[in-house]
Amino acid sequence: MSEKVALTVMVNPAETALPGTLISAIEANLAFKGANILESRWLSEGEAYDIVLSYLEPEKCEKIAIDTLRGERVDIIAQETDTRKKRLLITDMDSTMICEECIDELADFVGKKAEVSAITERAMNGELDFEKALNERVALLAGLPVSTLEQVYRERIHFMGGGRELVATMKEHGARCVLVSGGFTFFTSRVREELGFDTDYSNQLDMQDGLLTGRVIPPILDKNVKLQTLLAECTKHLIPLSESMAIGDGANDLPMLLGAGMGIAYHAKPTVEAAARTRLRHTNLRGALFAQGYGVEEFCP
């Protein structure tokens, strides 16, 4: 094999620093296993390091790095370099671009947060049918004033670290950025505008006389629609699937993650992490830029 492979090693700098001694150990073990190291550099000093090599498959590179760094809180991504920089970003919202699950925060205002959070957790791990679980949770919100949605967005929603840089940097380099969520249009439209996404897709809450009715207006945006949205965006904008990146944490993201050129399970539920090819467990969304070979000096604020 002679195709070039990029191996990216990343840490969360708030937790630890990536020492040069570990990088040297990885490079030595790669060379011992037959890799020809072509170039290497810090993408961000002490945070992310990139090694470009040949004569080893990505899976073998990852295994060597994982074995070398066993026990360290490190994220490792190996990939062929041909389509490394992506032209489409499609990403989930709740627990991905924002830190919270909006429906759980809404449920707190009717005294049902614990109950709804438990259902959300099971649904996102693939233990419950998504549409049924969504309808069940939304039904508990019946009678909640619509004004509560604005209060939740203003007071409880926090953007995920690195998300603003991710969208801004990819857009600066010509990528299309799409937000697709099983959550609600009230929130996705605001997150889209705040972070600079090109468009958003999500579910719509039914409202009457200033109150939530406890219904979601059909059709429901579920895992199949997320995958269809990825495919449609690629087709419409003439972007090969290999040049797409999908990010998500829940079971309803999995078909989209598996369909994209790179699908990142981001701080994901166990079933999603187990099935995905690429994972970020420790770093924030900056890791999705490092995975594409962007150095921190190229990041846009």
CA nearest neighbour of 8 among 72, 51, 46, 57: 51
CA nearest neighbour of 96 among 301, 293, 264, 295: 264
The upper half-sphere exposure of residue 174, i.e. CA atoms within 13 Å in the direction of its Cβ, equals: 6
In the residue annotation, 92 being an active-site residue is answered as yes
Cα–Cα distance between 15 and 298 in angstroms, integer? 23
Of 75, 94, 104, 253, catalytic: 94
Q: Mark out the alpha helices in the chain (DSSP H runs).
A: 20-32, 58-68, 102-107, 113-124, 130-139, 147-156, 163-172, 185-195, 223-236, 254-259, 270-275, 286-290
Q: What are the φ and ψ backbone dihedral angles of 22, each rounded to 5 degrees?
A: -70, -40
* Entry field: residues in the chain: 301
Cα–Cα distance between 179 and 198 in angstroms, integer? 8
Cα–Cα distance between 244 and 70 in angstroms, integer? 30
174 is written with which tokens? 């010509």
Of 50, 75, 92, 104, catalytic: 92
CA nearest neighbour of 85 among 296, 289, 301: 289
In the residue annotation, 108 being an active-site residue is answered as no
Give catalytic residue positions.
92, 94
